[in-house]
Amino acid sequence: MSIFKGAGVAITTPFLANGEVDYDTFRDQIEYQIQNGTDAIIVCGTTGEASCLSHEEHLDCIKFCVEVVNKRIPVIAGTGSNCTETAIYLSTEAEKYGVDGLLVVTPYYNKATQKGLIEHYTMVANSVKLPIIMYNVPSRTGCNILPETAAKLCKNVPNIVGIKEASGDISQVAKVALLCGDDIDIYSGNDDQIIPILALGGKGVISVLSNVAPKQTHDICQAFFDGDTAKAAKLQIEAIPLVGALFCEVNPIPVKKAIELQGRDTGVVRRPLTEMESQNAERLKKEMQAYNVL
């Protein structure tokens, strides 16, 4: 059984002006997502600026999210690290809080070999009983999970059950589907490829767009699941200009600005990220208006 099906939001982590986590705003963001049809919450992922959180903040955010959601929808915790021991520590702690699954990104900077990836994921998976979604995003990590590697892992490690595919390579995703079959759930890691990946048997998307358009992102998936592929394709295509604006600077700079434009301030981004360039902010505002989320 899949951890979730549909649109899961890669939720942002809100900060106060002094840089501390803003838990009041975080609660509001979680409730906003649930009220608007989000199918799952992915906490402390890339969009949540996990790489700039201390371990204590990271785990506190996971625990807080689990408590606020209170089993209404699945919560998946980002617990990946470039250090295997750190990933094990974060994963085992998150398991204690009652999360429904883990999202584990490939080790960044180290650029592990495929053998290293197999050992890394196997060690993390063996440290917990929770289902694990591997996160493949070579543009950010410098490391690609090859389809053959994904197949070895999902067939030999029982609780590795999914992959978030953000390679952007549809041919690679198709090969993952071919080699892994029903042993893996594929989730789009790119908001502009939801329907192509669903068409290859994918289960949904782990979405940045959902932060500002949760109902619309859910509806893209639901239309496909309902068999209305024409509607699903139309909804996907309509979202493309806004998705482009949400990634015109490195994530999560634009999406935090988008939330601010909606009047739901999520605070500053942590360095080395910086405030969005004014011309890009204008582009973002224009596309949000066109998409009727502003």
Q: How far is CA 13 from CA 17, 147, 290, 294, in A?
A: 13, 32, 26, 21
Specify the DSSP class assigned to residue 13.
-
| Given the residues 63, 164, 203, 256, the one annotated as active site | 164
Annotated active-site residue 256? The verdict is: no
Element of type H or E holding 229: helix 229-246
The Cα 154–Cα 279 span in angstroms is 44
Q: Give the number of other Cβ atoms within 10 Å of residue 169's Cβ.
A: 16
Q: Which of 5, 63, 121, 135 is catalytic?
A: 135
Which residues make Cβ contacts (< 8 Å) with residue 96, sequence separation at least 6?
none
- Per the annotation, the verdict on 135 as an active-site residue is yes
The CA distance from 32 to 111, in Å, is: 37
Please name which of 82, 44, 35 lies closest in space to residue 63, comparing C-alpha atoms.
44
Q: How many Å apart are CA 174 and CA 24, to the nearest integer? A: 42
- Alpha-carbon span 225 to 255, nearest angstrom: 27
Q: Which two tokens stand for residue 37?
A: 């049809």
Catalytic center residues: 135, 164
